[in-house]
Structure 1
Amino acid sequence: MVLIPLVRDYIDRMLQDISGMKVVILDPQTVSIVSVVYSQSDLLRKEVFLVETVDNMSKESMVHLKAVYFLRPTSENIQKLRRQLATPRFAEYHLFFSNILKIPQIQVLADSDDQEVVQQVQEFYADFCAIDPYHFTLNMNMNHIYMLPTVVDPPSTQSFCDRAVDGITAVFLALKRRPVIRYQRTSEIAKRIAQESAKLMYEQESGLFDFRRTEISPLLLVIDRRDDPVTPLLNQWTYQAMVHELIGIQDNKVDLRNIGNVPKDQQEVVLSSEQDEFFKANMLENFGDLGMNIKRMVDEFQQIAKSNQNIQTIEDMAKFVNNYPEYRKMHGNVSKHVTMVTEMSRIVEERKLMLVSQTEQELACNSGQAAAFEAVTNLLNNESVSDIDRLRLVLLYALRYEKESPVQLMQLFNKLASRSAKYKPGLVQFLLKQAGVDKRTGDLYGNRDLLNIARNMARGLKGVENVYTQHQPLLFQTMEGIVKGRLRDADYPFVGNHFQQGRPQDVVIFIVGGTTYEEARTVALHNATNSGTRFFLGGSVVLNSKRFLKDLEEAQRIHRTTTAV
């Protein structure tokens, strides 16, 4: 079982048993949940005439249509539904919720249905956005909350934790599994989410989770983004991760409106491994191989286009008409990928990212403080280097050498402040307070544990295939620790009295603060080559460096405001 078919199956079941023309009504979260796994043409095939949002519905009566609601079971959505049921616009109401309904909520719906238009109320556990087969996100708006102490904003912290628990429990309900649960000891918010998830699964809703037992329970591991602040700060050189870093991906869609002369039908494009064979084959490939594969695709398309110009007989014409939809789809696909790669190449050249990235990778993967200081200083002085790249370089240097060279670190702070007008003073220091060496659990640079030191030396002696993709996220070590039974109980305690004997077959790792596409790639490559343990990766958002820095700045702003009072 993988995530996308599970969610698709839920939507299929909502739509296929209701005959005739339908209108689908979603909330902002379920719009994302549906859109990443279901296309417009999929909806049309299920006789969906219209899609509306529960916040923005017309008042027009449509008694010829049946309404299919798919909503998160929030108190706000229940109240909106209550008001809409009071004056029904549709012939029938079929209500589906993405998570567990509370008894009082069911009572409110029953009391509101005076005209008896509600045909069914069901829970379908798709309360997460399945962006890839093994990668999900919760698209949480207030992502910076994880960096703040609970006392700063208790209501926001609670709603952040509640949403995380809802998403995690929905994943396990969809997988029909009840896990044992572990968390990162040094993270208060990871501990809280793990404990609240355990309470829901083992106490409050234990009946729902009473699935057929497997010999070894699956594992849920809740960890904190701050244990690896390096991965979201790095430039990326594999296709999916690179698009998100340089252009941005939201719910598998890429907005190209700000790029040159893009045709109207290409201004927002879908990047989905389910809907695009070329993307599926190349999403994890590095930029160099991608360029060659795109050239091959363009050459193939030109051959087909040329043969279509040689229409000489009625049979040729009939053949072309029959193949036209496929031809048009191929034309759109070629145009989409060429546009994105051209734009990314332009950004790489304009921001001198190959130069910047080489130093970033050295900071992340190799020690050598004097050479690193010189390289970062030179790039800070380089007029072609952008403000955001200067900031990332200093952050990466600070994370690596915070204890070794305080004087030189201060010199870099001062130079950064003088070169970058947008730099917010104290941001680097704030990151070190959040995610410095004293706060981290994992061996981020592979220099604490003898095994990791030996592994890094062996890797260095063998050489790295590509200097721009030599970095491995800390998640790789964590996964290895799980597979080999080396994840220390002291660092990652179990919740309650539930322990694990043996290697789990299914593991969900949830990163509070967000995942990256580099980490999703690590999971996908592991699952493709290892049959023993299958990993799923989820988080509060999907990060690129821009989003990570935005969360950092927002947390710093709130922290300053509250400590100044």
Structure 2
Amino acid sequence: MSVSDGDSSHGGWKNFRQTTRDRLLLEMLRSARGNNAANWKVLIMDDVTVKIMSNACKMADITEEGISLVEDLNKRRQPLPALEAVYFIQPTRDSVQKFMGDMNGKSPLYKKSYVFFSSPLGRDLLNIIKGEPLLLSRIAALREMNLEYLTIDTQGFSTDNDRALVELFGELSEGTRDYEVCLDTIAYRLSTVFASLKEFPLVRYRAARSAAANSVSTTTARDLVPTKMAAALWERLMKYKSSLANFPQTETCELIIVDRSVDPVAPIIHEWTYDAMCHDLLDMDGNKFMYEVTTGTGKVEKKEVLLEEHDPVWLELRDLHIAEVNLKLDDKMQQFGAKNKAAQIRLGAKEGQELSTRDMQKMVQALPQYRDQLEKLSLHIHIATVLNKKIKDEGLSDVGNLEQEFVFGDATSKELINILNVKQDLSAENKLRLLMIYAATHPEKLDATKRLQWMKLARLTGDDMNAINNMEYLGVSVSKKPTSGFSLKFGARKNKRPLRKERNQEEEGWQLSRFYPVLQDLVEDLVKGELSKDEYPYVKEPVGPLPATQAANPNSPGGATKPAVHSRRTNRPATSTWANKGRSYDDGSVDGRSVSNNHNHKPYGRRIFVFVIGGITRSELRAVHEMSEDNNREIILGSSSVDTPKDFLLVSDV
């Protein structure tokens, strides 16, 4: 018996998430269903694969592919001997044993099984399955999907390793089994991204920085995380190259592997775009938002919505500055009001005349999209109202302004002391975030005495100060290091201040929008072919032109062009007020910039992948969306997790 791998053979270009979805629905579920539309099946998944499926597909999609029931592998289940089962499980000993327990013996739970493993099945487990003839007779298919990652959106994914920051960069991480297991898990899950997309990347990684000349510090295991990850990934890619059908034999794209130390400010700073603010300021469970509405009868009901790409309003607003969101929502309500008047005229009502319930029902029939549009607009108006109130109540404009002045070197401890004295009601979280950004942008300024002074002034706890100290493990020189004796490598070299180069002030459209993640510079340098080979070496040097700078010109066979790098910021007018109203245009853009997010448009050139070990932020996802649209390139951002500022603070405190 052989184990076959999934082979995506569906033609036409598809974006990252769509490719993942098609592999799960068509390549897996539809292949098990066959040509019999009436052949309903049970789908059994484990704790990992259920997240893979739910992040890529809706229940309606699964049902459409012939699944009548979804079950948990780890729970007791009712026998359904008349139905066939599809197993989508990890190739672990525990999952395989549970599957065998279901299908072996005299009374199997299901009539027949189609087994799909999320990653390669070990030879030892395969031999165990092969050694059970009765079990084999009940297996209709046994395949490796090589798909073990969570899609975040059309351009983002996670390997679902929330503790990577602790296990790879924590104080006690070096030399532990958790360190090795975490590295290996991330590497094989990352490799399945390329197996799914049939992409073979040129792998680059952020090299460990050399110790300062006046220090005797040594390179630690945490320094080498990107190096080790790149090597582990390359080993798996070589196996795919020799074993997977249709896997490319030459490099087709480029991947950069970095860790969270590349930009320790991004997870902490207040990002002022809609998506980031929702996940920062609202009490959300992943992408799930709970809120209350009052019905026409005065009854208060709780509602639950997913803020995801299926909502066109969310898709349009998510990467916009909150001030721009307010303008867009106001404009949409005015347009909606115009449609409402048109509906009244259509129904023969006079302008200004109130509509009866019956009239409303007729209007819904006349404009079928009315109810859905009104509900979506109402939702986002509610969310924007909540966000604006939090901005005002928590004094976030002043906090955000100081944060960005720290980042660009325009503020010192004097401004920090002032805001802590003047704004006594600042939350402990916001004070901690300010201090962490100060520490990250003002190296070696927090010795033991000063830490106690800041702790007293900000009224923070010892645990809070530990979170600041732990930034040492992400390359931040929190306190001055001795010139001899053991010290962390990252602490040995004083960071440059500011961390980011100031972009042209003419490009800024909203106050508090100066900040941009360091990943934006990395990708722009890569597209221009200017990314340093010393700082970002290849696992294997490319032969010929770099794929990242090659844009496949359909009119020039084999020709390569060096694409211009565009910045969305260049389309924004300078203004001194964060809520300044921009010009609107007939094409639906604001300040001359499209917000359509057309995910079905085929990009020009090869894919670029960026993988961040230790978590990514919403600001980095936003930057990837904007750079992809502005440069017509599919840039895919992945990480071990997607973190909110609260997530990062909790991990930093460990």
- After superposition, the C-alpha distances for 1:469-522 in whole angstroms (9 at most, x for unaligned) are 211111011112212222222222222566674242322111000111111111
C-alpha contact 1:387 1:422 (8 A) present in aligned 2 = no
SS in 1 for 2:653: helix
Q: 1:239 aligns with which of 274, 288, 301?
A: 274
Distance 1:12 1:322 in 2: 35
1:428–1:61 distance in 2 versus 1, CA, 3 Å:
same
Are residues 1:459 and 2:504 paired? yes
Report what 1:21 is aligned to.
40
Distance 2:175 2:378 in 1: 47
1:236 Cα deviation (Å)? 1.7
Are residues 1:439 and 2:487 paired? no
Give TM-score, length-normalised by structure 1.
0.85
1:11 Cα deviation (Å)? 2.0
Are residues 1:548 and 2:648 paired? yes
C-alpha contact 2:276 2:618 (8 A) present in aligned 1 = yes
Are residues 1:107 and 2:127 paired? yes
- After superposition, the C-alpha distances for 1:182-209 in whole angstroms (9 at most, x for unaligned) are 2111231221111111111125763328
Are residues 1:123 and 2:144 paired? yes
Identity of aligned residues (%): 21
C-alpha contact 1:63 1:90 (8 A) present in aligned 2 = yes
Are residues 1:78 and 2:76 paired? no
Distance 2:439 2:285 in 1: 30
Amino acid at match of 1:362: E
SS in 2 for 1:193: helix
1:296 Cα deviation (Å)? 3.4
Amino acid at match of 2:414: F
C-alpha contact 1:21 1:65 (8 A) present in aligned 2 = yes
1:112–1:391 distance in 2 versus 1, CA, 3 Å:
farther
1:217–1:48 distance in 2 versus 1, CA, 3 Å:
closer
Are residues 1:516 and 2:560 paired? no
- After superposition, the C-alpha distances for 1:273-312 in whole angstroms (9 at most, x for unaligned) are 1x11111111111101111222334445566678489789
Equivalenced residues, count: 537
C-alpha contact 1:380 1:419 (8 A) present in aligned 2 = no
C-alpha contact 2:241 2:248 (8 A) present in aligned 1 = no
Amino acid at match of 1:107: N
- Of 522-531 and 378-387, deviating more is 378-387
Are residues 1:359 and 2:399 paired? no
Are residues 1:493 and 2:537 paired? yes
Report what 1:399 is aligned to.
440
- Of 479-488 and 145-154, deviating more is 145-154
Identify, as 1 or 2, the structure richer in helix. 1
C-alpha contact 2:204 2:230 (8 A) present in aligned 1 = yes
Are residues 1:98 and 2:118 paired? yes
Report what 1:525 is aligned to.
626
Distance 2:490 2:158 in 1: 25
- After superposition, the C-alpha distances for 1:448-475 in whole angstroms (9 at most, x for unaligned) are 8xxx75xx2x624x37322212111110
C-alpha contact 1:380 1:390 (8 A) present in aligned 2 = no
Are residues 1:224 and 2:224 paired? no
Distance 1:479 1:41 in 2: 37
Distance 1:111 1:305 in 2: 69
C-alpha contact 1:365 1:445 (8 A) present in aligned 2 = no
Amino acid at match of 1:52: E
Amino acid at match of 1:389: N
1:445–1:406 distance in 2 versus 1, CA, 3 Å:
same
Structure number, greater radius of gyration: 2
C-alpha contact 2:407 2:498 (8 A) present in aligned 1 = no
| Superposition pairs of residues 111-510 of structure 1, within 5 angstroms | 111-112=131-132, 114-115=134-135, 116-143=137-164, 144-148=166-170, 152=174, 154-186=176-208, 187-203=223-239, 206-208=242-244, 211-213=247-249, 217-247=252-282, 253-256=287-290, 267-273=303-309, 275-301=310-336, 307=343, 320=364, 326-369=369-412, 372-379=413-420, 382-403=423-444, 409-410=450-451, 413-415=454-456, 419-421=459-461, 423-437=463-477, 439=490, 456=502, 459-460=504-505, 462=506, 464-496=508-540, 501-504=545-548, 505-510=606-611
Provide structure 2 residue ranges, at least 5 long, that are not aligned to the other structure. 1-13, 209-222, 350-354, 478-488, 549-605
Distance 2:371 2:455 in 1: 55
1:539–1:92 distance in 2 versus 1, CA, 3 Å:
same
- Of 377-386 and 132-141, deviating more is 377-386
Report what 2:486 is aligned to.
none
Amino acid at match of 2:15: V
1:127 Cα deviation (Å)? 1.3
Report what 1:536 is aligned to.
636
- Of 386-395 and 302-311, deviating more is 302-311
Distance 2:315 2:524 in 1: 25
Amino acid at match of 1:136: F
Distance 1:366 1:234 in 2: 15
Distance 1:240 1:74 in 2: 36
- After superposition, the C-alpha distances for 1:214-269 in whole angstroms (9 at most, x for unaligned) are 5x642222111022110010112111111111126555x22426x79799986431
Q: 1:88 aligns with which of 108, 131, 141?
A: 108
RMSD: 3.4
1:379 Cα deviation (Å)? 2.9
C-alpha contact 2:409 2:441 (8 A) present in aligned 1 = no
Provide structure 1 residue ranges, at least 5 long, that are not aligned to the other structure. 555-565
1:218–1:430 distance in 2 versus 1, CA, 3 Å:
same
Distance 1:420 1:314 in 2: 59
1:111–1:272 distance in 2 versus 1, CA, 3 Å:
farther
1:322–1:99 distance in 2 versus 1, CA, 3 Å:
farther
Amino acid at match of 2:256: L
